[in-house]
Amino acid sequence: MSFEQCQRITLLMAGFNKAWFIAGGWAIDLFIGKETREHKDLEFAVFRKDQLDLKHYLKEWEFKKVIKGEFHTWGNEFLELPVHEIHASNKLNREEIEILLNETKDHNWKFRRDPRISSPLNSVWSYSATGIPYLKPEIVLLYKAKNTREKDHQDFMAIKGYLGNEQKQWLRYSLELHKPEHKWLQFLF
């Protein structure tokens, strides 16, 4: 995969009139502006409140919701927590995408794993130099802190020097609340 995959999602979502953004390791690389490691998947996020709009927009796709690691057909019901992951497959060409649902309340993004952590909605995503929307790296890293794998640690080490002071402070505060023993805290000064 290269940024071409991110561009394909951008083309696919060009007519979607709600917020969406690349998530995961690709979001880290879009922030930096270069590929820092090999990526085996690509996921993007939408706000939970917009899930049915997304399903209607991608009407040529088949959807599965993920419940406790297992795939189940997603009808037309509104998905509530703990469901936060959806997989879709294009009926015409079998292309597959992974979609992550993000929480909101009022005008804030809310961290689904710890409601004490939030950020203003208009501050959770940005755009690459080529116009690809991506989830801000400090939020991506907070998600990656739950079960930190080697690729997650690689992402952190690749980006830590690019984070501004406010981003580091926000991530440090969030980790101190949510994962106070996390090894990344030692790097966030």
The encoded tokens of residue 159 equal 């980006």
Residue 94 has pLDDT above 90, yes or no: no
pLDDT digit string (tens) for 6-34? 999 999 999 999 999 999 999 999 999 99
Distance CA 8, CA 6 (A): 5
- CA terminus-to-terminus distance, the chain: 33
The backbone torsions φ and ψ at residue 126, rounded to the nearest 5 degrees and listed phi first, read -145, -170
The encoded tokens of residue 20 equal 């969406």
The encoded tokens of residue 16 equal 């979607």
Contact by Cβ (8 Å): 37, 25: yes
pLDDT at 68: 95
Query: Degrees (nearest 5) of the Cα angle 106, 49, 17?
Result: 105
Q: At which residue do the structure tokens 């696919």 appear?
A: 12
pLDDT digit string (tens) for 97-113? 999 999 999 999 999 99
pLDDT digit string (tens) for 162-187? 999 999 999 999 999 999 999 999 99
Rg (CA), the chain: 16
**For the purposes of burial, counting CB atoms within 10 Å of the CB of 7, is it exposed (0-12), middle (13-18) or buried (19 or more)?**
middle
The backbone torsions φ and ψ at residue 129, rounded to the nearest 5 degrees and listed phi first, read -60, -25
Residues forming a β-bridge with 166: none
In this structure, which amino acid lies at residue 167?
Q
pLDDT at 1: 44
DSSP 8-state code for residue 64: E
* Mean pLDDT of the region 118-143: 96
Average pLDDT of the chain, as a whole number: 95
* Mean pLDDT of the region 151-167: 96
Question: In which band, very low, low, confident or very high, does the pLDDT at 2 lie, cut at 50, 70 and 90?
Answer: low
Residue 83 has pLDDT above 90, yes or no: yes
At 85, is the secondary structure helix, strand, or coil? strand
Contact by Cβ (8 Å): 128, 33: yes
